[in-house]
Each structure stands twice: as structure tokens, then as C-alpha cells.
Amino acid sequence: MTAPSPQPAAVQHPVLLGLAGQPNVGKSTVFNLLTGLNQHVGNWPGKTVERREGMLTRQDARVTVVDLPGTYGLTTNSPEERIARDFVLHEQPDVVVVIADAAALERNLYLLAELLALPTPVVLGLNMMDVAHSQGVEIEPEVLSAALGIPVVPMVARHAQGVAQLQDEAVRLAGAKESFAPVRPEIAAPHREVLADIRGLLADRVPAPYPADWVALKLLEGDAELIALTRSWLAPSAWQQVEALLAAHEDAILDIAAGRYAWIERMVRAAVRRPRLGQVGLTDRLDRVALHPLWGMVLLLAVFALIFAATFAFASPAQAWLEIMVVVPLQEWLRASLAGAPAWVAGLLIDGMLAGAGTVMTFVPVLTVFFTALALLEDTGYFARAAYVMDRYMHRLGLHGKSFLPLCLGFGCNVPAVMGARVIDSPSGRLLTILLAPLVPCSARLMVLAFLTPIFFGAAALPVALAFIALNLALLVLAGTLLNRSLFRGKHMFFIMEMPLYHAPSASTIARFVWNNVWAFLRKAGSLILVFSILLWGLSHYPGPALEASYLAKVGHGLAPLGDVLGLDWRLLVALLASFVAKENAIAALGILFGGDAGADGLAAALTAAIPFASALSFIAATMLFIPCVATVAVMHKEAGNWRWALFGVLLHLALALTVSALIYQGGCIFADAWPRTK
């Protein structure tokens, strides 16, 4: 196999460097060290996976560093693996740097073995040399380099060691690609012949940039993407022969994979000394608690209690502070400066735009706390333990153990719950989590619940409120189980998860994660919230002036037939619709429609007088289950990658809300002997 085209010795264009590595090898730290603040975060085309890119200058060479998603191998098992592979094939980087965990060297070199099947030059960065050393493993990088025939750089990225040398080696190799002559893994003897046969059948039908030898190997491994591609490349007769060969060797992957580890074993034999102690490390000691069926669960609950305590300690005061120090003064200032302007201008700016901007801002403190917690759990290695402990329960919903954490965050706010679904590896598990997350009652809905239940149920408020929360969670389980058996049937992804070693979190990694996510939210959801806030203002003020005479009220009246089934009059329907912009709007709308001037006590009296018992139950159920708020819908769209699934989620919640409300109202009418008002 030869490099596709000879390059001039002096590289003029920026060097394109791909940074590859398995998960949990400290690759992000290396990327941050390489590029500093000179980074750009986007998405891979057509994918919801982040693409991080940065620039560096070294030896007069400008280098574009692309951080590839962490992948264990290069087969197309996951979107991440496909991205990493497509990058190497289609963007043709000048050099790929593989970061490996020196403390789990053999397994980490599997990715290297896969990469060396492609012509791209590779540099190996051996990270966490200190961890390996502390475990009694001694590695001689020069010996490993000589065995592999590629540059090997020892590193301790956490202490910024080895990064300069890594840059030098990468730039040097990028400028001297033709000198790259590694020792490549070879296929085991039993399959050598069939590999040659397949290669022969491919002949010259494999288009650039795919190396034909590599395609033949991947076909033999049963790679689904290349099987589909090859079928389109070959004449039907040639394809049938290939297919027959593959069918006769469908177990070849087992030999090929075992062969790669045999090759790795040969490569590291001279370079690694390990005394094979049965020592008990920190990770083992911590895991005795964290993974224990009982204590693990207790620890998990404690961690969540801590996260929510942090929300109350930091996020809630910050929210209040923003409201008092920023939103209210801004409102007053605008009102004062717009004194001479027409009323609609002031209304649009203050009640439409500023209210929307205020809503956007109230999300920021909560999101900051939650994303910090998420990053902290992920970066220390605890997250995988939490997922392991919860997996047995989540499994039944077709969800991964990792879904538990985002769903649990949903009690605070559904936005980070949906965004947090990104930590789930399998696309179907991620999607299912995104669809189900809004069934977890968020703090805004809990607030509405806490406001309404005492009004209608007096002393029984708490049990009733708890029953409504339980209803939401029961519906989550039901919807999850049903979706898992219908739409998501057979989409089950394998549950195989690495438990990384525990380590101290890195402040800069966490800060970047929080910033990226909060910024992504502001960009994506901010504008949408603003638009809907203005829309709601317009609908509720025109033709006006009072809400009773607005378009929104007309919509409410128009929905009366539906309202009759649900036991909701037009005012309750309007309150429900208003909650789409922000859930707490439901209370404000009730206040206006049922006598806002009477204050909270007056509102309570007005509500109990106007709303029959069964209608109250139905309304509370509807608010708890209704369409997620606009911010959540915005991130559902962003995370699902298209509107189709976001819309499906919206309809799913709408259907649930209407069905449950109707059932509760009709049932309530029969049992509580409360009859609908005629109008």
C-alpha cells in the first residue's frame, strides 16, 4: 500500500492533524494544550456530534488540529466511529496523532492497529505515563517506537509534559510522509487466501479515497457500511462472488481481532515491563462502594441530593439576583424612556422582548450548575459507575444506565436533561431519552403544582401533588416501554461500557464543557424563546386591550369542543397555551383571567369558586404533561438533529396530556359527582 500522492517536502498549506484516541485517555486535555484558546466548536456535517478544531504554529508550520470523537475502533458501530473513519478517509489529514493510555496500553493500541491499515502517517502519544508508573508498569517509548516503526512520545498531559515533543514529531512526519514505513498488522494465515480473493474481485472498482486492500479487510470483518458501498461499486456477478466468500467466512472478524491483539502483544513485548502485582489501587477501593448494589445506590442518591442542593444554593439566588438587578431595572428604564412612545411599542419591548430575554436568562444559572455537575461526574470517572448501578432499572425502558443522570436532572429543568442525553453512546438510546425527558416534571411545573394543589385540595395537597408526580413518572415508564417495543424495537445497542480509572477533574475541561453547552443553548433556544415570547404578547394583547378580548382568548373559545371533553373552559385552555413559552406562565395567565387584582388569596378564592373539582384535576394533569416548553423543544430539535423527532416528541406529549386529562375529567365527573358547567 502506498500513500495516495507524493507531497512536496516543504508543506506550504496548513498541516491537517487529526487527534484520535479511545475514550478516557485524556485526549481533550491534549487538545486544549495543543490549541490553547484558539478553538472552534461546531458540529460534524449532518451529525449532532461536536467537531472541535483549533490552530497551532510550530516550526514555522501552521497546523489545524481536529479533535476526533473518542472511539475504541474504526468500525462503523457508532456515529463517532464513522466520523473518525470518514475524517481519515475523506479529509486525508497529513498526520494522525493517536493518544493512548499507557496504563492500559494493549487495549489502546487496538485503535492504532486499525489506523495502520490505512495509509495515513501516525504518531503515537503515550499519555498517563505517571499512572502506568504508579501501577508498576514501565514502558520504554524508544523500544516501542522501534518495534512499531512510528514515532512514540511519552506524555503526562495533566502536567503538560510531552506536548512540545508530540507537536514536533507530528509536524516532522507530516512533512516527510513518504518516509512513513510502520510495521503493519497482518491478517492471520487462515484468512490470507480469502482476503486475496476478495481483493482480486474488487479489482479496480474501488473509487478514491478508499484503499482497496483496506476495503477487502473491512468486508471480511463484516463492516456494514463498506458492504453496502461495495455492492454499489461492483458488477452484480462480482458482488455475488464476494457475498459468497463473506458468507463462508462470517466468523473472520474473530480471527482478525484476535490477530490484532497478537500483533500488539508482539509489539509491546520488549518495551513493557510489568510485575503483575495483585495490588489494590484507589479505583478498586472506591469501586467497592460505588459499584455495590446497595451502597452504590446510596452514594448515587447522595450525589443527586448534592447537585440539587447546589442548585438551591447557587442557581436560585443567581436567578433572583438577575431578576432584581438586571431585568426589573431594565424594565423600569425602558418604561421611563418609552413614556412618550405609543403603548404598543412599550408593550412589545417590555412584555414581549424583555420578558422573553428574562426567560432565557433564568435558564443560565440552572444550566451552569447542572452542566458543571455533569462535567464533574464525567471527568472524575464516576458517571460510568452511576450508569452501571442504574442500568438494571433503566434497561427495562430500553434505556441505557447513562440515561438515568440526564433524566434525573430533568427534575430541575428539562433543557439540560435533553442536552445531557448526548452522553449516551447509542443513537437510539439517546433519542429515546430525548423523547422521554420532558415527562420528568421540571421545577417550573413543580412550582405550578405547588401553587395549585393547596388551592383545590387544602390539607391533602401534598399527597395529591406526589400522586401527580408519580403519574408523570409512571407515564414515563409506560411510554418508554411502549416505544421500546414498537418504534425502537430491535434498535437495542450492546451494553458494554468502560469503567475508567478515577482521577482528579480538570477545571479547564469542565469550564469549557459548561461554556460550550450554555452558549449552545443561548444560541439555539434563545432566539426561539424570544420569538415565541413576542408572539404570545401579540396574541394576548390584540385586538385587545384586555386578555379576554384577545386572539389568544379567541383560540381558547375556538377550542371549546375539546375543552368540553377535558373539562377545561376557555380560560384554562388559554393558561395551558401560555405555558408553552414558560411553564410558570400558567399561573400568571390564571391570575389575569380569574381576577388578577385580588392578589394571591383572592385568586385562590376565585379559582375554587369558578373551577369544579374534576376540572381542577384535569387542568393540573394537563399542565404536568403538556407540550414541553419552547426552550425544551428547541434543544430537542438540536439534539435529535432534525425537526421530525422533535415534532414527534411534541405530539407524543400532546397526545398524553389530552388523553390523561380527558380520562381524569370523565372519571372525576363520575366519581366525584362534579358536573361540568354548561359554558
Partner 1 sequence: MNDAGLRTLDEIPKDGRAVVRRIDGGSQFASRLAAMGIVVGASLTVLQNTRRGPMLVSVLDTRLALGRGEAQKIRVELSSPS
Q: Which of 319, 363, 375, 321 is nearest to 516 (CA)?
A: 375
Kindly state whether residue 380 participates in binding partner 1, applying the rule CB under 8 A: no
> Binding partner 1 by CB under 8 A: which of 52, 177, 260, 637?
260
Total residues in contact with partner 1, by rule CB under 8 A: 45
Cα–Cα distances in Å, from 298 out to 203, 295, 388, 500, 676? 61, 5, 14, 21, 47
Kindly state whether residue 447 participates in binding partner 1, applying the rule CB under 8 A: no
Kindly state whether residue 197 participates in binding partner 1, applying the rule CB under 8 A: no
Compute how many other C-beta atoms are within 10 angstroms of the C-beta atom of residue 227.
16
Q: Which residues of 161-200 are buried (b: 16+ CB within 10 A; e: fewer)?
A: bbbebbbebbbbbbbebeebeeebbebbeebeebbeebbe
Scanning 45-53, 106-114, 323-331, 515-523 for contacts with partner 1 by CB under 8 A, the matching segment is 106-114
Kindly state whether residue 138 participates in binding partner 1, applying the rule CB under 8 A: no
Kindly state whether residue 263 participates in binding partner 1, applying the rule CB under 8 A: no
CA distance 378 to 514: 12
Kindly state whether residue 395 participates in binding partner 1, applying the rule CB under 8 A: yes
Minimum CB distance to partner 1 smaller for 260 or for 541: 260
Scanning 35-43, 86-94, 107-115, 191-199 for contacts with partner 1 by CB under 8 A, the matching segment is 107-115
Minimum CB distance to partner 1 smaller for 388 or for 580: 388
Scanning 65-73, 147-155, 542-550, 623-631 for contacts with partner 1 by CB under 8 A, the matching segment is 65-73
Kindly state whether residue 427 participates in binding partner 1, applying the rule CB under 8 A: no
Kindly state whether residue 261 participates in binding partner 1, applying the rule CB under 8 A: yes
Q: What residues have CB less than 8 Å from 158, skipping those under 6 apart?
A: 26, 29, 128, 130, 503, 506
User: Exposed (0-12), middle (13-18) or buried (19+): which is 273, by Cβ within 10 Å?
Assistant: exposed
Helix ranges (DSSP H) in 544-629: 551-558, 560-566, 570-578, 585-593, 599-610, 613-625
Minimum CB distance to partner 1 smaller for 315 or for 386: 386
Kindly state whether residue 221 participates in binding partner 1, applying the rule CB under 8 A: yes
Kindly state whether residue 107 participates in binding partner 1, applying the rule CB under 8 A: yes
CA distance 238 to 221: 19
Cβ 477 to partner 1 shortest distance, Å:
17
Kindly state whether residue 340 participates in binding partner 1, applying the rule CB under 8 A: no
| CA R_g for the chain | 30
CA distance 300 to 306: 10
In this structure, are residues 676 and 611 in contact, taking their beta carbons and an 8 Å threshold?
no
Kindly state whether residue 72 participates in binding partner 1, applying the rule CB under 8 A: yes
CA distance 235 to 16: 36
SS3 63: strand
Scanning 383-391, 534-542, 645-653, 656-664 for contacts with partner 1 by CB under 8 A, the matching segment is 383-391
Scanning 92-100, 139-147, 285-293, 353-361 for contacts with partner 1 by CB under 8 A, the matching segment is 285-293
Minimum CB distance to partner 1 smaller for 9 or for 247: 247
Kindly state whether residue 186 participates in binding partner 1, applying the rule CB under 8 A: no
Cβ 361 to partner 1 shortest distance, Å:
40
Kindly state whether residue 104 participates in binding partner 1, applying the rule CB under 8 A: yes
Kindly state whether residue 55 participates in binding partner 1, applying the rule CB under 8 A: no
Using CB under 8 A as the binding rule, the residues of this chain from 295 to 334 that contact partner 1 are none
In this structure, are residues 658 and 444 in contact, taking their beta carbons and an 8 Å threshold?
no
Kindly state whether residue 488 participates in binding partner 1, applying the rule CB under 8 A: no
> Among all chains, which residue has been given the C-alpha cell 463492516?
223
Amino acid 611 reads I
CA distance 466 to 226: 53
Kindly state whether residue 229 participates in binding partner 1, applying the rule CB under 8 A: no
Cβ 260 to partner 1 shortest distance, Å:
7
Cβ 323 to partner 1 shortest distance, Å:
44
Conformation bin of residue 174: beta by default, left when phi > 0, alpha when psi is -120 to 50: alpha
Q: Which of 414, 422, 402, 403 is nearest to 367 (CA)?
A: 414
Cβ 615 to partner 1 shortest distance, Å:
44
Cβ 497 to partner 1 shortest distance, Å:
4
> Among all chains, which residue has been given the C-alpha cell 445506590?
297
> Binding partner 1 by CB under 8 A: which of 38, 57, 90, 106?
106
Scanning 105-113, 153-161, 304-312, 662-670 for contacts with partner 1 by CB under 8 A, the matching segment is 105-113
Residues in a beta bridge with 41 = 52
Kindly state whether residue 503 participates in binding partner 1, applying the rule CB under 8 A: no
Kindly state whether residue 654 participates in binding partner 1, applying the rule CB under 8 A: no
Residues in a beta bridge with 125 = 99, 153
> Binding partner 1 by CB under 8 A: which of 495, 542, 551, 648?
495
CA distance 102 to 94: 25
- 545 preceded by cis ω (within 30°)? yes
Kindly state whether residue 392 participates in binding partner 1, applying the rule CB under 8 A: yes
Applying CB under 8 A, the residues found at the interface with partner 1 are: 22, 71-73, 75, 77, 103-107, 110-111, 114, 135, 221-224, 250, 253-255, 257-258, 260-262, 283, 287, 291, 293, 384, 387-388, 391-392, 395, 401, 494-499
